[in-house]
Chain A
């Protein structure tokens, strides 16, 4: 397969971006070039196509284009991913909203929804789920569908239970504290079918919508107390990152919080518009 040896050049990438931009509303021009290049490489290898035929197919076949766009996006998430962040949410962030009448939470780039369910579980444990309005968006409609289902592999994701224990059952600030919350309270584990299935009261709550951070802006007629956008901006270049920060800043309530991924930080012009609270950013 020649495509395997062919390295995607900058020009190839540009053709790819331009083609997608010309036939759809998707715009990858401000994505991180290196990452996008690797994704393009992967797509070419997976479909065993050369660039020209890929671009032709993209032009002719809308469904194929959607598929490719989905493949471009990276969807990694877990239940209670990075437990320290959830500890922060539990001990420092969410308590700030204890007295709010409502809490608007936006999971931008929710992927397959684990983060959404983690948030709801945590909120429920803190007796705050009732006043929470959960909005979850992603570019990829497939993962959104999976998120709505709330069914995950069990064996492959044994780590979920660990994370659950770390966040919900234990308290890192007080090792003697132990809340014996049964898993069945929130999800059913079927070892034979190898599934973890979220309870209905969780799956029916969030509003899932397809959404492109690059072009769509805020599609909800609301501002937010908390925006989670974890491990998304790493795929964007500096300019797009700043656009996204601006979008988030504009749509946060004063003192609202933005939570980025473990290794994501705001640098640049918008840094001064936020205050830090651990991993989180508070709108000044």
Chain B
């Protein structure tokens, strides 16, 4: 839906890559944050603001804004719930699940051998019991009864991607 695009659209020029690199660093909490970002990119502020607006229009940037800690809103439990949905019902089921406020992410994914799940939802709630109740509700709403709730045991990594990072990965020999 929102990610069909051709490669022509995605080619970024060297100055655009500089803008992306500047934008992915900490957003300055001061009166003129874009001026500082523009300086980092070595571009005039006016031009920089125009390009940011272009990127928003072209959906290279999904949003300029903030994401809350889930805990802030009282969400202490999260489950990745995977569903086995008949392909012809996928869109309809995805729409019902996406409409639920406890669902933060909803993706389709290709099934794998011995893993027939094709719809993935992230569910947030105040407790595991509440998560389970929401999953039961989603199951009832959609009629999908073949699913698994995968609760997280440990967060090993959660970071923002560094795009066009010239530093080679540490795993590169």
B is bound to A? no
